[in-house]
Structure 1
Amino acid sequence: MTEKKTIRLNKFIASAGLTSRRGADDLVKQGKVNINGETADSPGIQVDPEIDQVEVNGKLIEYDSQAENVYVLLHKTIETVTTAYDPEGRKTVLDLLPAEIVKKRVFPVGRLDFYSEGLLMLTTDGELCNRMTHPKWHLPKIYQLTIRGKLTERQISIMESGMCLEDGELLAPVKVKTLSEIGDTSKYELILHQGINRQIRRMFSDFKKTILRLKRVRQGRLELGDLKPGKWRELTAKEITLLKNDLKMK
């Protein structure tokens, strides 16, 4: 006898592209979800996609079995390794996520080094990850950094013209914006269009500048916003759709 395959109600709703699972939880709490004509009282209710009829705001929705990937935006903290496992026993980005997300086998999209913080996406969507990290589809990334001292106009010009590192590697132009210069520290915003390993740290090392803080605040359309360090959220259905459109995914 074949066992019935049931899923959580919030997963069913999220698969229809209406909202994220957290958003689905809110819809249930607001009494806007019906199952077989009765108001659902918990987002954790198990439903059978082949039998149960689910309505949101009075409209019948259908389960999309192809929409089961997980998309998470994390505010990575400093001294955290961007990997699923660290042989040295250091804290990894998965340690910042709840077990229910980790067990879905999410993996980081790209990297942030050990002492950098900010926006990091994790997902189970291999195709999307490959596109986001491939040079052809590389989405612009915005970083904010604080350094000791300040950049000269010539140094800014070098970065914006396409800097050649001391090791001979030629970089694409980087847009630089001065955010503040207070005392012996300065804060800048940099927009990068390529994925060179430790690019910002290597550039500023060549300039003999000490980076005090480095944070990624945006990648493509995804923004860190007011998400606190160590916190995470699921991407909204709209964010996922726009991201896939930018990456020319069907």
Structure 2
Amino acid sequence: MPENSPVRLNKYLADAGIASRRGADALIQGGRVCVNGLIQREPGTRVIPGQDTVLCNGAPVSAKQNAPSSYIMLHKPVHTVTTVNDPQGRKTVVDLLPEELRTLRLFPVGRLDYMSEGLLLLTNDGEVTLRLTHPSYEHPKKYEVLVREAVTEKSLGIMRQGMRLQEGERLAPVEVESASDAGGATLLRMTLRQGVNRQIRRMCRDLGLTILRLRRIELGPLFLGNLEPGKWRALTDAEIKTLKSSLGLD
């Protein structure tokens, strides 16, 4: 097919190795794909390879990129944005990677906000990204949350039962344990399965709790371990196998 012949957007993503055709449909319908700066939600949208600019999760997509799949665990530090590039010129998670990794078109799976830290997966495997971020898969994410105040059993019970945020969103029950209490501060361990934006910060806000530190320590079967802030490492073959198995991709 000539390079300038229009193709369906879902086929373009599948041919680029971003996801299967079905996975590409989900990415598009989920508002994760832009063509020439505009979000497209119709898989049948026509694009012209080599002419139209296509972004998936903020990362550029090239036809027939066929890049080998790479999986990088990063300990995102605070004061870093979880994106490929930032219009405000702030440091991004991709800036923390060496040049040879930046050329692999890696993009972050999910988000950690500017003041949060912890485990972040970056990959060019679109199918893995889709299954880790799509709400229907409900993969657990565990966080350590240090708050200034002592946390009452009543507040813990509200989180465990599933609370309603002041904006009206109803949350699923959260697994939460009070791990320690020293000097009035409390370290909480929370396990979430939803993808509500800034969920932990909004929960603590509504319960009158002040977050001092928010760190993600687990993502599905992956563990942050002793990886230092700002450092990265490639997933081991065993971790990749376990991750894909948990996602039904083995």
Is the structural similarity TM-score above 0.5? yes
Instruction: Write the letter of the residue equivalent to 1:177.
Output: E
Quick one: distance in 2 between partners of 1:142 and 1:129? 18
Count of matched residue pairs: 185
1:153 is aligned to 153
Once the two structures are superposed, residues 102-159 of structure 1 have per-residue CA deviations (whole angstroms, 9 ceiling, x without a partner) of 1111000000000000000000001110111001223100000111112111110010
Quick one: distance in 1 between partners of 2:238 and 2:138? 20
2:107 is aligned to 107
Secondary structure, counterpart of 1:83 in structure 2: coil
Secondary structure, counterpart of 1:177 in structure 2: strand
2:80 is aligned to 80
Quick one: distance in 2 between partners of 1:194 and 1:207? 19
1:190 is aligned to 190
Residue 172 of structure 2 is aligned to residue 172 of structure 1: yes
* Deviation (angstroms), 1:67: 8.8
Structure 2: gaps (5+ residues): 1-65
Quick one: distance in 2 between partners of 1:234 and 1:202? 32
Quick one: distance in 2 between partners of 1:239 and 1:133? 18
Once the two structures are superposed, residues 19-72 of structure 1 have per-residue CA deviations (whole angstroms, 9 ceiling, x without a partner) of xxxxxxxxxxxxxxxxxxxxxxxxxxxxxxxxxxxxxxxxxxxxxxx8920100
Is the alpha carbon distance of 1:67 and 1:245 closer, same or farther for their aligned partners in structure 2, counting shifts above 3 Å? farther
1:63 is aligned to none
Once the two structures are superposed, residues 70-112 of structure 1 have per-residue CA deviations (whole angstroms, 9 ceiling, x without a partner) of 1000000001000010010100001111111111110000000
1:223 is aligned to 223
Structure 1: gaps (5+ residues): 1-65
If you compute each CA radius of gyration, which structure gives the higher value, 1 or 2? 1
Aligned CA RMSD, in angstroms, stands at: 1.2
Secondary structure, counterpart of 1:204 in structure 2: helix
Quick one: distance in 1 between partners of 2:67 and 2:235? 13
Quick one: distance in 2 between partners of 1:142 and 1:91? 25
Residue 246 of structure 2 is aligned to residue 246 of structure 1: yes
Conservation of the 8 A alpha-carbon contact between 2:175 and 2:192: yes
